[in-house]
Structure 1
Amino acid sequence: MTSKKTPAPADEIQQLRDTLNDWSYRYYTLDDPSVPDAEYDRAFRRLQELEEAHPDLVTDDSPTQRVGDAPLDAFEEVRHAVPMLSLGNAFNDQELRDFDQRVRERLDVSGPVDYVAEPKLDGLAVSLVYENGRLVRGATRGDGETGEDITANVRTIDSIPLRLRGDNPPTLLEVRGEVVMPHSGFRDLNRRQEEAGHKTFANPRNAAAGSLRQLDSRITAERPLEFYAYSVARLEGEPWPDTHSAMLDRLRELNLRVNGEVRRCRGIDALLDFYNDIQERRERLDYDIDGVVYKVDRFDWQRDLGFVSRAPRWAIAHKFPAQEELTVLNDVDWQVGRTGALTPVAKLEPVQVGGVTVSNATLHNIDEIRRLDIRVGDTVVIYRAGDVIPKVVKTVPERRPDNAREIHLPERCPVCDSEILRADDGVVARCTGGLICGAQRREAIKHFASRRAMDIDGLGDKLVDALVDQELIDNVADLYKLKAEDVAGLERMGEKSAANLMAALEASKHNSLSRFLFALGILQIGEETAKALADCFGDLEAIRHAPLMLFLQVPDVGGEVARAIAAFFAEDHNEKVIDDLLAAGVTPASDGVPSRRFVDALTLAGFLRGAKFLGMPLSGVGDKTLETLGRHYRALDDLLEAVEAGEDDTDTGVKAATLEKLKEGLRADDWLARLRAAEAYAAKLAAKAPAGAADERPLEGETWVLTGTLSRLTRGEAKERLESLGAKVAGSVSKNTARVVAGEAAGSKLAKAEKLGVEVMDEDTFVHFLAGHGIALPEQ
């Protein structure tokens, strides 16, 4: 009788790894366990024994290698190759129907659209990167652009494979998903915490977030965390599927767990059925969800729909109604924000809402307080939706005590004792102290120094507080008057830290104009609006002195934002700070040339519409009439001549009665002077702009895509250079893509470009192209 041959250690180790990975796939991904836990544990212990006996055979993707070694000192920063975007929200059925209608209108589709509906898991969003099938990085979402490297921690989560399933995994896969803590595991964890005399967690989301951000991965390994994949950011080495649902199927094949509740739905009614069904079953699920996410299924339609600001037009989160509780309003504090706006904050008798203890809530503004007739001492209803700041939504009048006190808007700022004024809209109340107000000053300086603004390395919140407390700085311009010896004398600072700060301040003097504008903290001016202003006007001085009506012509700038820009530059103290910054050597980098596209948009028709929007009395004169007159006459004096004639305008077909109303509007207040000022300013900009259509931004309106690895410059550098020429740089190829720049190892984007007939440049051609537009790269 022949005895059975014992396999070699390497063969047995590989066999055990394959078996354990297969069992994990069936357990986590298919939700179909094939063996009892005891059998899995026996195989796992046998693998441990073999690896201990043969340490040279241990690999980092072995099922035994999930727990890290020594704790980290701190998490490393990770820059996401593809930003982790936020979603717009729908809070009721009508808002969801409006979303579906917008999708169909933009796609020009009359029938129902296919969506994928997914539970909105209430955990922590993470990014996982696999190279050739191996997990190489895990990162938190952070601010969407930059997160923290938590690779050691995600490796401890059993439902995250260390190696993808299959013989031919993608060469690169970046998958996005949510880490959650199930209710059962949360209860067990809190029981263990209580028994050990440690602090318990308020809810599963806090427990998951805290566990995932442990510097010691051995602690994370003890926490009951689970992962669910919901999207892919990057895929190379295999074709990109046609639909989101097909992508999720591919993730399942690779042993990446996808939530079992995910469904493909056709049309709005199917989405609402899914929402109502899962909301009814919400309490029976073993994890927290705070709504449903809907995504257009077809990727080509997603690309056509694109994005607005930092949110996709092809997806939306349908939030569940918030949980509400009753409590007592003990008092009201008035907080002053960075822009001087006063916000009433309710001081509440602490109450549990959705597993979180709430003692403060927003009251919005004094008008909302009056509308709801809220008084100190009232019993009030508190509303909390997910991470949304809790708010007071109504009172319970029958429980009002006799000594309830009315709430009044302060006449003086609670921080600096400056006068409080109401804004023109009658809603927002602001402190008039501006940059002298302690609340505004600190926040203004912190914003100015932040990474996306002037990016002054080393100037963190605590140091700003110390500089203000020691009266070393009073506003942002004072930063550039600091001396190293003054800074070195502060707590936790020294000569080296002070020298580094001085160097960072010096370096920040030469930031771009768009960064500088964003850093000023102008109300409602984000990064994109700051870029638009810089691109349109070309330099700081042109923006500082521009009439309000010109701001209305800037792309994506509406009336409220235009007013905020004009009001900021109209304030003497703001102008003084800017003058001090420039005197200190801050030189916002710009080419000094207005955009030809913007200048060409500064027409009389646009100014007339803008004047009407801003309040010029033109009752009975429609926008279409203003457009007709503005297009025909183009210059204000020519239009005035026609208006003064007092008869029907046969050239435009506009009646004399309408022209008389226009004349009355122009004569009212100072509207004629304002229109003249706008026209004159536009003429000055036009004289500085490039002639004809050969704009200084020759790629204006074009969409480019970068793919593969570039050797002469990074993708970020390539993007900056293309944007300086006016191009928009997108992350995916479509029929609207103008060109694709393909570096080494270009994958599916290159294939898509070739399929669509999109022009493709290699790196050498791209560098030559940039040089032809005056952009030379440094020698290697």
Structure 2
Amino acid sequence: MSNHIQQKIENLRDTLHKYNYEYYVLDNASISDFEFDQLLKELQALETAHPEFFDANSPTQKVGGTITKNFETVVHKNRMYSLDNSYSQEDLLDWEKRISKIIEGDITYTCELKYDGASINLTYENGVLVKAVTRGDGVQGDDVTNNVKTIKSLPLKLQGDFVDNFEIRGEIILPLDGFNQMNLAREEAGEETYKNPRNTASGSLKLQDSTEVAKRPLDCLLYQVLTYQNEFESHAQALEKARQVGFKVPETIKVANSIDEVVSFVNYWDKARFDLPYETDGIVIKVNNIRQQEELGYTAKAPRWAIAYKFKAEQVSTKLNEITYQVGRTGAITPVANLEPVQLAGTTVKRASLHNADQIALHDIRVGDEVYVEKGGEIIPKIVGVDLTKRPADSLPTIYATHCPECSTPLVRTEGDAKHYCPNEYGCAPQVAGRIVHFISRKAMNIDGLGAETVELLCKEKLIENYADLYALKAEQIIPLERMAEKSANNMVAGIEASKQMPFEKVLFALGIRFVGETVAKKLAKAFKNIEALFEANLETLVAVDEIGDRIAESIIAFRNEPLNQVLVAKLKDYGLQFSLSEEDLQNQTDTLVGKIFVVSGVFHKVSRNELKKLIEDNSGKVSSSISKKTDYIVAGDNMGPAKLQKATDLGVAIISEDDFLAML
């Protein structure tokens, strides 16, 4: 009897998975909604009566029911990079020229619509969904598996054979019809309507009750498959196979054989996008061949093998009521236009950046003007011009601020710098708070339970004056503060304590040395091994490090020469923060390849391409993307292109195998 019931449950699940796929992916239902609902109710009744046959990927999971109070942070197995943007045909041609210098032979491209929603990374094992993680900062995101399982078009179980273990990435969107219906219902209920589909889709993923998520008509469009054994030759092939096993891969994707075909695709969708059932803000162009993608690799922020073409931003006009000035953590002053509220690209815009004094002068922007506003890259509103026909007769030119709006210190502007700065680095409140907010940020010390508002509150209450003071905080000091409870205070103190384990390069980035970003901090940590060696280095020693120029070197020297910074670093050391590379890191690093430049080309078997590059860098070598007279070695794997081979031969560059390279170490 038990086997019979189990078989009936499994048959119902398979049948409902199939009907879900037909309805939500193929848009070709073979049964009525009523018949589907009856089968689903039958399955729910059987599962309730027989909990021993529970399956986390049953079709019944799509109705929700789980509560998630805290979304666990998960580190991505493969980083989710951003994309470089382009805004013109010339940008695309320049990109083509850049990649043609690195890879040889014919290049084909995939052209895809850039969906405007929330990016998601899905992990499947043996044909079933096991994890769904938001993009986050690209390195780590939030586990939203229970909520994502409610999306009707997303397969919880694949319809056929595919790769055993893989990741697939996509965009969770809210189609326009569904968004409009949601807002209509909210209007009728007397509730405030949602601003735009993108933010609503993103917010839906963080709802605590998955039953509420299930009520929202979310969709999931897939755009990238990541496997571990190079099972596919091309990006388009991987997506086509993914479509066959149940994923909703848009039919709008096209393979282009030339950049001219890419441009034609862009021009077509620049007009046709307004007929789509969902929002899109551009086109993503990718090199189709996966081996060529590997050859091109990544910069610190983006893949070289892909680029986003952004459609021309929507533009509106409105009145400029006032110009105010903001102070950043580095003291940089940013003028801000306070506008008559206006709708732009689905949001209400009240403020826009004016960038700097030169931009104001260039457009002769004045208070009282009717100004043209658009979203730069469709994200940040900016003023792009003035309607001079509507300028008031008594209009006066803008006189840029001369003193800091926060501390009244006279502003300075160095030659060649676009921005004005407040030099009161340690006495100007926004700069003080800004440095602490940077210190606690996810890419720096990643302190849980502490955000920008809390930092401002702690500063206001004189509990902290700098980031070193965080490590002296006690829960009993925090509990009496506004909107604080005992649990929140304890979580904050625990998060601060846990941050002491963050590695040296994170601490170095967190210090907020001007021009020392995340990537530069890693290079400096690797080159100098500890803070003492870094701070003892002179200008000549600093600029000898790869990609460290005079400006960065001078900033490091200025930071270490400031007495207060010396005190802060000493305090942080006493509190136990990591100011040197760990023993494990040091063991993995040698000077074996110092001064040697390598180009990596082809497919490898003992280590992956990325592991091979890391081995080069860990042993003080440098990885280059193109062959030149300066190249010392080409590490050649299978399928190395003949043109690269010829160029290496012509230049007399040594070509070594994977085994030869490993023997070097």
Contact 2:635 2:657 in 1 (8 A): no
Shift of 1:176: 0.5
Matched, 1:160 2:164: no
Letter in 1 for 2:119: A
2:141 corresponds to which of 143, 147, 154: 147
For residue 185 of structure 2, the aligned residue among 192, 216, 235 is 192
CA contact (8 A) 2:313 2:378 kept: no
The residue aligned with 2:466 is 475
Q: Which deviates more from structure 2 when the two are superposed, residues 717-726 or residues 211-220?
A: 717-726
User: In the aligned structure 2, how far is the partner of 1:727 from the partner of 1:553?
Assistant: 14
Aligned partner of residue 207 in structure 2, secondary structure: coil
Specify whether residues 488 and 64 from structure 1 end up closer, same or farther in structure 2 by C-alpha distance, changes over 3 A only.
closer
Indicate which of 398, 408, 421 corresponds to 2:399.
408
Counterparts of 1:211-610 in structure 2, within 5 Å, are: 211-235=204-228, 240-385=231-376, 387-482=378-473, 486-487=477-478, 490-491=481-482, 508=499, 511-558=502-549, 560-569=551-560, 571=562, 573-575=564-566, 577-578=568-569, 581-582=572-573, 588-590=579-581
Residues 200, 430 of structure 1: alpha-carbon distance in 2 compared, 3 angstrom cutoff? same
State the one-letter code of the partner of 2:216.
Answer: R
Identity of aligned residues (%): 39
For residue 192 of structure 2, give the secondary structure of its aligned residue in structure 1. coil
Shift of 1:488: 5.7
Greater displacement, 546-555 / 201-210: 546-555
Does structure 1 conserve the Cα–Cα contact (< 8 Å) formed by 2:345 and 2:378? no
Matches within 5 A, 1:667-678: none
CA displacement, residues 693-716 of structure 1 (integer Å, 9 cap, x when unaligned): 647x899969899999xxxxxxx9
Q: Within 2, Cα distance between the matches of 1:358 and 1:392?
A: 11
TM-fit CA distance, 1:416: 1.5
Q: 2:70 aligns with which of 43, 62, 74?
A: 74
Q: Which amino acid aligns with 2:157?
A: R
What secondary structure is seen at the aligned counterpart in 2 of 1:65?
A: helix
- Contact between 1:114 and 1:265, CA under 8 Å: does it hold in 2? yes
Question: CA distance change for structure 1 residues 227 and 369 in 2, over 3 Å: closer, same or farther?
Answer: same
Partners of 1:483 and 1:216 in 2: how far apart?
34
Aligned match for 1:96, one of 70, 92, 97: 92
Structure 2 residue matching 1:340: 3-state secondary structure:
coil
2-side partners of 1:81 and 1:154: how far apart? 19
1:15-53 Cα distance to aligned partner (Å, 9 max, x none): 443333333333444444445545544544554565566
After superposition, the C-alpha distances for 1:128-178 in whole angstroms (9 at most, x for unaligned) are 111111111112111111111111111111100110111x44331211001
Shift of 1:211: 1.9
C-alpha RMSD of matched pairs (Å)? 3.9
> Which residue of structure 2 lines up, in the alignment, with residue 202 of structure 1?
195
TM-score (norm 2): 0.84
Name the residue aligned to 1:106: 102
Distance verdict in 2 for CA 1:722–1:505, change over 3 Å: farther
CA distance in 1, matches of 2:499, 2:203: 35
2:17 is matched with 21
Match of 2:82 in 1: 86
**Greater alpha carbon shift after TM alignment, 264-273 vs 487-496:** 487-496
TM-score by length of 1: 0.73
Native 8 Å contact 1:116 1:263 kept in 2: yes
Q: Which runs of 5+ in 2 are unaligned?
A: 624-633, 638-655
Aligned-partner Cα distance in 1 for 2:156–2:228? 17
Residues 461 and 707 of structure 1: CA distance in aligned 2, closer, same or farther (over 3 Å):
farther
Mapped to 2, the partners of 1:533 and 1:61 lie a distance apart of 47
Contact 2:592 2:619 (8 Å CA) reproduced: no
Q: Does the C-alpha gap of structure 1 residues 276 and 558 become closer, same or farther in structure 2, counting only changes over 3 Å?
A: farther
- Conservation of the 8 A alpha-carbon contact between 1:363 and 1:392: yes
For the Cα contact (< 8 Å) 2:318–2:370, is it kept in 1? Answer: yes
- Cα distance in 1 for partners of 2:45, 2:478 equals 57
Q: In 2, are the aligned partners of 1:115 and 1:267 still within 8 Å (CA)?
A: yes
Other-structure match for 2:652: none
Residue 163 of structure 2 contacts residue 227 of structure 2 at CA under 8 Å; is this kept in 1? Answer: no
Q: Work out whether residues 138 and 149 of structure 1, in 8 Å CA contact, stay in contact via their aligned partners in 2.
A: yes
Instruction: Give the structure, 1 or 2, with the largest relative contact order (CA under 8 Å, sep 6 or more).
Output: 2
C-alpha distance after superposition, 1:548-580 (max 9, x if no partner): 454433323345544544444455554454455
User: Could you tell me which residue of structure 2 aligns to residue 182 of structure 1?
Assistant: 175
Equivalent residue runs for 1:644-683 within 5 Å: none
* 1:178 aligned counterpart, secondary structure: strand
CA contact (8 A) 1:701 1:726 kept: no
CA distance in 2, matches of 1:285, 1:333: 39
**2:605, 2:122 → 1: CA distance?**
20
Alpha-carbon distance between aligned partners in 1 of 2:528 and 2:49, rounded to the nearest angstrom:
71
| C-alpha separation in 2, matches of 1:8 and 1:591 | 58
What is the Cα deviation at residue 544 of structure 1? 2.8
TM superposition shift of 1:425: 1.1
1:173 aligned onto 2:169:
no
Point out the more displaced range, 363-372 or 72-81. Answer: 72-81
Which amino acid is 2:207 matched to? Q
Equivalent residue number for residue 117 of structure 1: 111
> Following the alignment from structure 1 to structure 2, what is the Cα–Cα distance between the partners of residues 459 and 416?
26
Q: What is the CA–CA distance in structure 2 between the aligned matches of 1:396 and 1:561, rounded to whole Å? A: 41
Q: Residue in 2 aligned with 1:750?
A: none
Partner of 2:642: none
Q: Residue 664 of structure 1 aligns with which residue?
A: none
The answer to whether the Cα contact below 8 Å between 1:340 and 1:432 also exists between their aligned partners in 2 is: yes
Please state how far the C-alpha of 1:435 moved relative to its aligned partner: 2.2
> By how many angstroms is 1:359 displaced?
0.5
Any stretches of 5+ residues in structure 1 without a counterpart?
1-6, 596-688, 709-715, 730-734, 739-755, 774-780
Larger CA deviation: 518-527 vs 453-462: 453-462
| Conserved? CA contact 2:374–2:383, under 8 Å | yes
Please say if residues 281 and 378 of structure 2, whose CA atoms lie closer than 8 Å, have aligned partners that are also in contact.
Answer: no
Between the aligned partners of 1:255 and 1:760, the Cα distance in structure 2 is 44
Aligned equivalents of 2:6, 2:130: Cα separation in 1: 24
Give the match's secondary structure for 1:308: coil
Aligned partner letter, 1:186 = F
Stretch moving more, 243-252 or 457-466 = 457-466
CA distance in 2, matches of 1:218, 1:420: 54
Alpha-carbon offset, residue 500 of structure 1: 7.1
**2-side partners of 1:352 and 1:207: how far apart?**
17
Per-residue deviation, residues 284-329 of structure 1 (Å, max 9, x unmatched):
1100000000110011100010001120000000000000000000
Contact kept? 1:129, 1:135, Cα under 8 Å: yes
- 1:131 equivalent to 2:122? Answer no
Equivalent position amino acid for 1:170 in 2: V
Shift of 1:384: 1.3
Query: Which deviates more from structure 2 when the two are superposed, residues 489-498 or residues 424-433?
Result: 489-498
Distance 1:261 1:146 in 2: 30
Q: Which has the larger radius of gyration?
A: 1
